[in-house]
Amino acid sequence: MPSWIEINGLQKSMDDFQLGPISLAIEPGTITALVGNNGSGKSTLLKLVMNLANADAGSIEVFGKPVDGKDESWKRKLAFQPQKIIGWDAYTGTTLKKMISSFYEKWDEALFERIVRLFDIPLDKRFGKLSEGMQQKLSLALALPRNTDVLILDEPTAFLDIPSKRYFMDLLIDWMEAEERAIIIASHQTDDLRKLADYLFVMREGKAIGHYEKETLLESYRRYWLDETPDGSVPGEVSRDRQRIVSADPAAAEHYFAVENIRIIDHAALDLEEIIDMLLK
Amino acid sequence: MHTWKQAYWLAGFELKARMKRSLLMLAFYTAVGFVCISSFDVYLTENFYAFDLLFLLLFIMFPAWMKPKIFQMQKMDGDLWTVPAVIMLQQLPVPKAVIVKSRFIIHSVYSFPYQLILLVMLLAVSPAFREMITPLSYMAFLIIWLAVSVAAGFAMAASEAGGTYDTKLLAKSMIYLVLGIAIFYAAFQWLADEGLIYWTIGLAQNWPLMSIVVSLLIIYAGWNYWQRVMKKDIEKADYL
């Protein structure tokens, strides 16, 4: 099946920041998390996908259509929730719903009402008067029911409290299961990534570090407690703290320990947060 | 046609969102206009040049200033300046042509009723003006000034596309703009030996039909030209 979103050799420079070259394909039925430190270019990448800025080089195609082409119909297949919502302040939730729902054929009114009840969102208050958390809840309530093929979320849980985050995860999982869809989510929240993501696209200072399948990534890092400190470099060695070594190539590392007669006292998988930390260093 | 229908529908949201405040601003700016226009007889009898500048301001800048602040051009992240609605609508499946048209409809609502009120007020408050002008000439005068509004004032609507502007560059551009207007105004006074409004009254009196036709052509051309400019500027801008 062809990719729904295809990014090839994308580059964009702004002042002293250079994004790319970035290549990434989004397949149907997947959740891809964009991971990176602040200023790594995640939001810029998402805005380029939404054609809110012009690329210096490379291309972005959504459902086979170049985003900077004359045909803008591809936007009906995408729902975008930016990190900072601009232009909504003067409107109430009811007005925003009236405006936004009209653009999407598959708008799910029942889901909208369910989310509004779940998060207890006041629809009669102006968006600008709501707290940041409530703004984020309303914007989610206005994003999911669009039922587009692709949902793009930029830091969707940054201002949510813990129970709301849990509800949000459940909503997203239900949303994904309903039809063949795809989600791109930029997030700093490891919980989001651990529970939701199928793939991680890791970025550092505008550059792509790698595109990983989450389970494969989790299996590819291992921490070893050894009975002695190895003299040489261990295959895939990522960090070393005396007899404690982390390797990104466990099979080769274990072979090395066997050859060098180094006994493994214990070993354990790393959690996702640690792996991301290492990738971003 | 569907594009215009969608644009009207979208513009309605913004216009309704601050209706009370917009009506108050219209009343305020009409009062300001009334104060200015009450001195029109002085302009006609003593060639009070500053009145031309005031009139240009009323026709070109006031409509943009009348919009509620929340919908006006503002500084976003970094050096990005734009109207929030332009970003909001681009994140939805709204074609750029519809965005442009909706901005023009909104600007029209803040321009034409106010400008028509001013022009009718002029007839009501200035006996000297009433004596000078016939109904046909008045019609021509009115259309000439609506043409000024579209040709120059709608540059303000087109500028809502925004873009990334360095603050220094912005300040420089403002200085050049003021200098440009001053030079144009001085040259006009020197060449025509009369004020701009006086000159347009002359056009309306001497060539009313020709003035109407040319002004309508200017309105048509300006209306389409500024829309094309805004669409191009939206395509060029980086809303990051």
Q: What is the per-residue pLDDT across B146-180, written as a single tens digit (0 to 9) for each?
A: 999 999 999 999 999 998 888 888 788 888 888 88
The answer to whether residue A215 scores a pLDDT higher than 90 is yes
Binary contact (A52, B84; C-beta < 8 A) = no
Q: Which of A231, A228, A227, A275 is nearest to A250 (CA)?
A: A275
Confidence of residue A31 (pLDDT cuts 50, 70, 90): very high
Residues facing residue A269 across a β-bridge: A222
Question: For the residues A155-183, what does the mean pLDDT come to?
Answer: 92
Binary contact (B93, A75; C-beta < 8 A) = yes
Confidence of residue A216 (pLDDT cuts 50, 70, 90): very high
Binary contact (A87, B89; C-beta < 8 A) = yes
Residues of B with CB under 8 A from a CB of A: 10, 13-14, 17-18, 68, 70-71, 76-78, 84-96, 235-240
Residue of A121 and A231 predicted with greater confidence:
A121
Confidence of residue A190 (pLDDT cuts 50, 70, 90): confident
d(CA A178, CA A108): 12
d(CA B69, CA B82): 12
**Scanning every residue of chain A, which has its alpha carbon at the shortest distance from the alpha carbon of B95?**
A72
Binary contact (B96, A72; C-beta < 8 A) = yes
The answer to whether residue A1 scores a pLDDT higher than 80 is no
Q: Are B213 and B55 in contact (CB under 8 A)?
A: no
Question: For the residues A36-52, what does the mean pLDDT come to?
Answer: 95
d(CA A200, CA A144): 22
The answer to whether residue A170 scores a pLDDT higher than 80 is yes
Pair of tokens at residue A89: 């302040």
Give the pLDDT of residue A183. 97
Confidence of residue A193 (pLDDT cuts 50, 70, 90): confident
CATH class of A5-216: alpha beta
Residue of A77 and B57 predicted with greater confidence:
A77
* Boundaries of every domain in chain A: 5-216, 221-280
Written as one string, the DSSP assignment of A54-94 is: --SEEEEEETTEETTSS--GGGGGEEEE-SS--S-TTSBHH
Mutation site for B-interface testing, chosen from A71, A86, A107 by largest number of B Cβ within 10 Å: A86
DSSP 8-state class, residue A197: -
Query: Residue B191: CB partners within 8 Å, gap ≥ 6?
Result: none
Which tens digit of pLDDT belongs to each residue from B90-110?
999 999 999 999 999 999 999
Per the listing, tokens 């200072």 go with: A205
**A108-112, A124-128, B171-175 — which is least confidently predicted?**
B171-175
Percent of chain B with pLDDT over 90: 53
Residue of B181 and A76 predicted with greater confidence:
A76
Round the average pLDDT of chain A to a whole number and report it.
94
**CA atoms in the 13 A half-sphere facing the CB of B105:** 19
Q: Are A32 and A202 in contact (CB under 8 A)?
A: no
Q: Which of B67, B43, B94 is nearest to B159 (CA)?
A: B67
Q: What sign results for the dihedral spanned by CA atoms A156, A158, A163, A169?
A: positive
Round the average pLDDT of chain B to a whole number and report it.
90
Sheet holding A31-36, edge to edge: A78-81, A150-154, A182-186, A31-36, A199-204, A207-213
Pair of tokens at residue A9: 């050799």
Sheet holding A264-269, edge to edge: A237-241, A244-247, A222-226, A264-269
Question: For the residues A254-267, what does the mean pLDDT come to?
Answer: 93
Task: Tell me the helix, strand and coil percentages in chain A, rounded to 5.
Answer: 35, 30, 35
Binary contact (B240, A14; C-beta < 8 A) = yes
d(CA B215, CA B221): 10
The answer to whether residue A207 scores a pLDDT higher than 90 is yes
Beta-carbon count within 10 A of B69 CB: 10
Q: What is the interface pTM, i.e. ipTM, of the complex?
A: 0.90
Residues of chain B with C-beta less than 8 angstroms from the C-beta of A87: 84-89
Question: For the residues B40-44, what does the mean pLDDT come to?
Answer: 79
Residue of B196 and A82 predicted with greater confidence:
A82
Give how far B16 is from chain A: nearest CA, Å: 10
Question: For the residues A153-168, what does the mean pLDDT come to?
Answer: 92
**CA atoms in the 13 A half-sphere facing the CB of B115:** 27
Residues of chain B with C-beta less than 8 angstroms from the C-beta of A47: 239-240
The answer to whether residue B46 scores a pLDDT higher than 80 is no
Q: Which of A184, A169, A195, A187 is nearest to A271 (CA)?
A: A195
Enclosing H/E stretch for B163 = strand B163-164
d(CA B215, CA B140): 8
Pair type for strands A222-226 and A199-204: unpaired
Binary contact (B240, A52; C-beta < 8 A) = yes
Written as one string, the DSSP assignment of A90-134 is: TSBHHHHHHHHHTT-TT--HHHHHHHHHHHT--TTSBGGGS-HHH
Give the pLDDT of residue B1. 61
CA A238 to chain centre: 24
Question: What number of H helices and E strands is found in chain B?
Answer: 13, 3
**A58-62, A63-67, A276-280, B58-62 — which is least confidently predicted?**
B58-62
d(CA B46, CA B42): 6
Binary contact (A89, B238; C-beta < 8 A) = no
CA A147 to chain centre: 19
User: Which among A82, A89, A103 has CB closest to B70?
Assistant: A89
Asked if omega into A21 is within 30° of 0 (cis), the reply is yes
Question: For the residues A141-147, what does the mean pLDDT come to?
Answer: 97
The Cα-based distances of B174 to A81, A107, B73, B77 in angstroms read 35, 46, 15, 21
Q: Are A250 and A236 in contact (CB under 8 A)?
A: yes
d(CA A153, CA A174): 16
